[in-house]
Structure 1
């Protein structure tokens, strides 16, 4: 395995203090794989993060005596009912999140899969304190009207440098939900433009007047097809495509848009190939039926490479290739929602690279680890035919685009996509061995070959998540019963050892 070591600038004094107070733990390896790897590297695996803590430290209950008053104070002015833990980011470093009581946890949830290269990363700090960043923050431009002089360079050297195959343009936005809704708008305008006969055809008076009354033909009855258990955001359009949990959708008016079945596969996928192929065939047939018969015709489909919020549901590359063939056959756009799967988490920079598609997706949405948001595309016809049709005040944020550029630089310098693939294989093997020892605790283990984008079902999921904090590990869940792992790209084998050992303690208890 290639070495990932390099010199990294020193981090802030607060982070250094947090690192200094953590003692290196003496570990007994939870699995044979962990022990073998530790022996192979002789405990000298080069760290990808300078001055990172050597392991978790638990000093108090969570929340502790310093944190509880802070939470009470916040509750008076801000809803804290969804609070996971209150963090002290001044003392957090690399893969470790700290709180006000001096507790330091290995973070394999990473702000719901949104921290790419570690807390208080020195490369990002350098970008954040640059004159270029200061200007972008204090002079934030309304990009549609007043783009800054170097906006093209920022895009070309950052966001577009890692554009998916077939995409050479981007429309930037604020969040994953925003990115998806902007992609929906682009799909609707593209479809209506096709029906009119091209971009050169002017709108009719009837279209313009009826649009003001939310009526046809100016407001056509198009739809976006999504999939059962999918999650695409909480804004109005994106929420109509979200099908993961009722709590997201209750009391909110929704569009009359179709929902196709997502394959309910058995895991591991390769061990149930025949059964899964039959299930995927059923879902493809139903998808095609909906695309061709639904009373509000779909202009596009939207799908996640892995249904993340809906329970970490996987399908085979063949299923996604089948979807692409159907959308091309019926002249319907394919939007791939890479908000959670993108930027290296699956061992590829973009998860849909695993599929070997015959033609690229029409649009790929992104956010989270990119720290900015938007959608990639390559077809010039997806540009609206007139200005102000795809528009808002900010149209993205140069400051966040600069940060994404620094993230990309760190990913490339440390070879982090390959690191995630290697570490993910190692971690999955360790989890397989734990599954053999504790089959009731780890059920339907999935994510093999998908980097560290790994999950399993647990009959006592919420208890496992709570107990993990008591031993210094922050883990998240998804769906009704899934434990999902979302570590950072700097997560390495020695971190995997800590996680595996911690899980075994929980399972034994």
Structure 2
């Protein structure tokens, strides 16, 4: 049965300061939702006899009325959105700077040390084409600059060696890198993504599984780093010698997002880079979810103090379009080796300019750090108070998550928060994750925290 709620209201469109709240009392779900849901379900039944997609609908959004940190549904309920379309809305909904963006010039931004950029449509195709770039670079090294042979050109047309080499990409358990064939072979977070899809025989290493709180488990977590890194080193050697499928590149997320918001230490990433270089492979850091500022830096890997920049960094989500940055040495010598019709969506670069200008003008990276620290501190206090329900609070900036003691409890908490006007998301087996806009403030955090405290106090779900 639907519950009557106070749903949190809207924000001022002029200035987007996020402090104005209006009383909107509605039902969630409401009458418009019920009517539309019946139509959607009927449509799926007519087309497929099985309304699988209809079951995934939580509510229908009215994006024209959504403002700032609030998403409004078709019944007029305003929900504080701390999920932001899986971390895709850097300034929230309908920010004035974005609405004015069409009149502004194009701009580019690059991670330190990466001088070349290739744009794509989405995160999956960004990783897919980054793999191609790595393979081209790796083959060029082995060819020592020699031109293609006649045998190579003919054999590649029938997917045979030597024109189609048996190279591989190493990835990590719990990773999510996309749903296209190559990137799906490096995705290991949920079986539903991979079931029935052919995959490459590429190596998969363990990603650190830390014990929390971190300051009480330093020795154990250091040993976990060493275990995982030793496995990476062993796999790189095995695939080069025994499997005869040398690893051309290693792909890793700075924080494993879909896999459960799994973190690793700066020391882990530093040593991973050294091992990768030792074996002559490229290091690809997948910043599709972490890039664009949610960790308090424009690129999450900047927290790791690496000896040198990674070889490639992929992006999408908050960057408005997909693509990857890379060092000069990975630039293909021939044209059209990485290519598609539009090379992404050039118009989105205009929107990106507005986003970047606002980040600079409003010092939003500092805000993310400050608000993130505040939110983490408050969540840690809640964790102490409700230790039988939640644990393992963690995060960088506002890229925050905590675990519930079971997946069933996690799903119940998410559902209860929605009924109180808060939109969050889940990941991994039992984690609740926050992906708010860069404009998220302490006032918004308090709204979320108050609702979460109320839900946790109910004890029964």
TM-score (ref. length: structure 2): 0.91
Matched, 1:356 2:305: yes
CA distance in 2, matches of 1:440, 1:502: 18
Tell me the matched-pair count.
Answer: 434
Partner in structure 1 of residue 340 of structure 2: 392
1:319 CA drift (Å) = 0.3
Q: In the alignment, which of 104, 120, 138 is matched to residue 173 of structure 1?
A: 120
CA shift at 1:69, angstroms? 2.1
Distance 1:457 1:50, change over 3 A: closer
Shift of 1:53: 4.4
**Alignment CA distance shift 1:22-1:172 (3 Å):** closer
Matched with 1:256 is: 201
Q: What is the DSSP-based 3-state SS (H/G/I as helix, E as strand, rest coil) of the residue aligned with 1:426?
A: helix
Alignment of 1:313-392 (within 5 A): 313-379=262-328, 381-392=329-340
Residue aligning to 1:446: 394
Aligned equivalent of 1:188, options 127, 130, 135? 135
**CA shift in 2, pair 1:219/1:349, >3 Å:** same
Name the SS of the counterpart of 1:91 in structure 2. coil
**Would you say the 8 A contact 2:18–2:69 is kept in 1?**
no
Alignment partner, residue 410 of structure 1 = 358
RMSD: 1.8
Unmatched runs of 5 consecutive residues or more in structure 2: 1-7, 48-52
Deviation at 1:357, TM superposition (A): 0.2
SS at match of 1:182: helix
Task: Specify whether residues 56 and 399 from structure 1 end up closer, same or farther in structure 2 by C-alpha distance, changes over 3 A only.
Answer: farther
Query: How far, CA to CA, are the matches of 1:456 and 1:91 in structure 2?
Result: 31
Alignment of structure 1 residues 490-505 onto 2, 5 Å: 490-505=439-454
Q: How far is 1:56 from its partner?
A: 7.7
Per the alignment, in what secondary structure is the counterpart of residue 97 of structure 2? Answer: helix
Q: Which runs of 5+ in 1 are unaligned?
A: 1-20, 25-46, 133-152
Q: Does 1:49 align with 2:23?
A: no
Q: 1:273 to 1:58 in 2, by over 3 A?
A: farther
CA distance in 1, matches of 2:141, 2:403: 45
SS of residue matched to 1:80:
helix
Q: Judge conservation of contact 2:10–2:70 (CA < 8 Å) in 1.
A: no
Deviation at 1:102, TM superposition (A): 1.2
**Secondary structure at 1:220's aligned position in 2?**
coil
2:256 counterpart SS class: coil
How far residue 86 of structure 1 moved from its aligned partner, in angstroms, is 1.2
Alpha-carbon distance change, 86 to 494 in structure 1, aligned in 2, over 3 angstroms = same
Contact 1:305/1:352, CA 8 A, preserved across alignment: yes
In structure 1, C-alpha distance between the alignment counterparts of 2:9 and 2:422, rounded to whole Å: 15
2:402 is the alignment partner of 1:456? yes
**Higher share of residues assigned strand:** 2
Q: Does 1:102 align with 2:76?
A: yes
1:336–1:502 distance in 2 versus 1, CA, 3 Å: same
> Shift in Å at residue 82 of structure 1?
2.8
C-alpha contact 2:9 2:79 (8 A) present in aligned 1: no
Q: Distance in 1 between matches of 2:23 and 2:221?
A: 40
Cα distance change, pair 214–321 in 1 and its aligned pair in 2 (3 A): same
Alpha-carbon distance in structure 2 between the residues aligned to 1:469 and 1:285: 43
- CA drift of 1:72 comes to 3.3
Matched with 2:88 is 114
CA, structure 1 residues 451+56, in 2 after alignment: closer, same or farther (shift >3 Å)? farther
Question: Which residue, 37, 47, 51 being the options, matches 1:71?
Answer: 37
1:230 paired residue among 168, 175, 179 = 175
The Cα of 1:501 is off from its aligned counterpart by 0.4
1:183, distance to aligned residue in structure 2 (A): 0.5
Change (3 A) 1:456 1:508: same
8 Å CA contact 1:57–1:105 kept in 2: the answer is no
Query: 2:3 is matched with which residue?
Result: none
The 2-side partners of 1:267 and 1:55 are apart by 39
Please state whether the residue corresponding to 1:212 is helix, strand or coil.
helix
C-alpha contact 1:52 1:93 (8 A) present in aligned 2: no
Per the alignment, residue 433 of structure 1 pairs with 381
Q: Report the secondary structure of 1:224's partner residue.
A: strand
In structure 1, C-alpha distance between the alignment counterparts of 2:311 and 2:40, rounded to whole Å: 43
Q: Does 1:270 align with 2:270?
A: no
